[in-house]
A and B are shown apart, each in its own frame.
Chain A
């Protein structure tokens, strides 16, 4: 695992909001290729803020390297091609009139040919099992459908790193299960920020616990999620499935 090269390398990242509130302080984090990393923490811990740094939407002090390349204002398009960010609210992620247009939005911005765009859109929609929704309007869809298409809008750009903000929020158990299977099936680097610790347990190999803009713990998923004192000190709790299963749960393939 650790033999893989670094996909993301964050060094001394500090960020404060325009109003002066400190959102991230001194974040140092390495994320390895093909790894699945869970970012957990209470509300307002800075999870989303951290994710927005990964493709240069926010740029704090410090350095973030994506496959060795430092993010700066000059290479944002290049970086955003590699780092696909899926937002929490699918109504923000899906802004075009039809599903096809939304999934094609990224590839079209990459100036690909018409045929390539069509191919990428079909592939991305097949991966989330939504191919026959291609010509539908986004606002006619259910929440679970929108959520899956949101992921497809990013997959169509063939990212090397997939960053998801609260992917399972508001999903019913069936679609949540499908999401977990999907996350375990793909092999690209994944960064998943969520409150859904059971999802983390099933899909992530490593976890960082963020509170008040700082990394307070980092380690293998089981080690962190079994630590009752640690989790409760940071407004989280040990997921029920840890108690239910005696043996170590099997996380994602990688």
Chain B
């Protein structure tokens, strides 16, 4: 069975794809920090950040529509945050001065725009970097190995588990003739239980396979990263632009 993979555009050959995964990771983090700390009234800065991100997306040759569709994951976060806006404003009028900008709508748009920009950058990062490379970049940057292993196993097995669920659903459909809604819900609960047991069993088998190949509790990997001159140029240029937007423009 086929699924869409989170890094399905990571095989394109573009200047952005060719960058070192660490550089992209560092850039994304810096970008997010800049965006988050942009003062609320600096619309122009936010617009420039947007243009910068858009340019990078165009350079990466990842379809724009794909990126925009993916960016909808930001919507629930924006909604959750905006629930608190009315309360925020009351505190704001006493605590810190927002002056004439003290309006609910402005705060809302600010949060929406900032989350959107951050999400776009993250989508750009994951769709231009193969996940294994991203994991290795995280490892190089001293993220604890246990987190990386969890992510790595999740990336490897989420589709195996989804396949199992889909097969079970097909088998259920093949034998389902009528039955009440309540009955089908009960069956679904059973399926989740079975899926849990199978996952548990698989975990045990994977561990056996790891032990068979000499696993002693410490994961070791090799990376073939090489920090090239163009990575350096990109990092300098991109960070420079961010500084320019933040402190000089607008």
Interface size on B, residues (CB 8 A): 27
* Given A52-B208, A109-B220, A77 and B214 contact (CB-CB distance below 8 Å): yes
Interchain CA distance A153-B206 in the complex, whole Å: 13
Distance in Å: Cβ of A135 to nearest Cβ of chain B: 8
Shortest C-beta distance, B138 to chain A (Å), equals: 12
Which A residues touch B202, using CB under 8 A? 91-92
What's the least CB distance linking A189 to chain B, in Å? 16
Cβ contacts under 8 Å, A92 to chain B: 202, 205-206, 208-209
Contacts A57-B212, A87-B205, A157-B214; is A139 near B156 (CB within 8 Å)? Answer: yes
- Tell me if A's interface is mostly helix, strand, loop or mixed: helix
Q: Answer whether residue A43 sits at the interface, using C-beta atoms and an 8 A cutoff.
A: no
Q: Determine the chain A residues whose CB is within 8 A of the CB of B211 once the complex forms.
A: 57, 80
The residue in chain A whose Cβ has the minimal distance to the Cβ of B132 is A97
Q: Which residues of chain B are within 8 angstroms of A191 by Cβ–Cβ distance?
A: none
A15 at the interface (CB under 8 A from B): no
CA A110 to CA B218, docked complex, whole Å: 12
In whole angstroms, how far apart are the Cα atoms of A65 and B221 in the complex? 32
CB distance from B145 to the nearest CB of A (A): 13
State whether A139 and B159 are in contact (beta carbons under 8 Å apart), knowing that A92-B202, A108-B222, A114-B222 are contacts in the complex.
yes
Nearest-neighbour CB distance to chain A for B216, whole angstroms, equals 7
Interface membership of chain A positions 13-48, coded 1 if the CB is closer than 8 angstroms to chain B and 0 otherwise: 000000000000000000000000000000000000
CA distance A154 to B222 in the complex (A): 18
Query: Which parts of A122-139 form the interface with B (CB within 8 Å)?
Result: 137-139
By the criterion of a CB under 8 Å from any partner CB, how many residues of chain A are at the interface? 35
Main secondary structure of the interface of B (DSSP, over half): helix
From the candidates B135, B209, B216, B220, name the one contacting A87 in the complex (CB within 8 A): B209
A101 to B210 alpha-carbon distance, docked (Å)? 12
- CA–CA, A94 and B152, complex, Å: 12
Do the beta carbons of A105 and B205 come within 8 Å of each other?
Answer: no
Q: Could you tell me the distance between the alpha carbons of A137 and B215 in the complex, rounded to whole angstroms? A: 21
Contact indicator per residue, chain B 133-164, by CB within 8 Å of chain A (1) or not (0): 00100000000000000001101110110000
**Bound-state Cα–Cα, A136 to B130, Å:** 10
Expressed in whole angstroms, the minimum distance between the Cβ of A78 and any Cβ of chain B is: 10
The answer on a CB contact under 8 Å between A95 and B210 is yes
Known A95-B206, A97-B131, A97-B132; contact A109-B213, beta-carbon cutoff 8 A: yes
Q: Which residues of A contact B220 (CB under 8 A)?
A: 108-109
Whole-angstrom distance from the CB of A33 to the nearest CB of chain B? 21
> Counting chain A CB atoms within 10 Å of each CB, which of B135, B153, B205 scores highest?
B205
Contacts of B214 in A (CB 8 A): 77, 80-81, 106, 109-110, 157
A50 to B131, CA, bound (A): 38
**Given contact pairs A93-B209, A109-B216, A139-B156, a sample of 18 additional A-B residue pairs in the complex whose CB atoms are under 8 Å apart:** A77-B216, A89-B205, A91-B157, A91-B160, A92-B206, A96-B156, A98-B132, A101-B222, A108-B222, A109-B214, A109-B215, A109-B220, A110-B214, A118-B222, A137-B5, A139-B160, A153-B213, A154-B212
Q: What are 10 A-to-B residue pairs whose CB atoms are below 8 Å?
A: A77-B216, A92-B208, A93-B209, A95-B156, A108-B221, A108-B222, A109-B214, A110-B214, A114-B222, A137-B130
Residues of B within 8 A of A (CB): 5, 130-132, 135, 152-153, 155-157, 159-160, 202, 205-206, 208-216, 220-222
Instruction: Give the 5 A-B CB pairs with smallest separation, nearest first.
Output: A109-B214, A97-B132, A106-B213, A108-B220, A92-B205
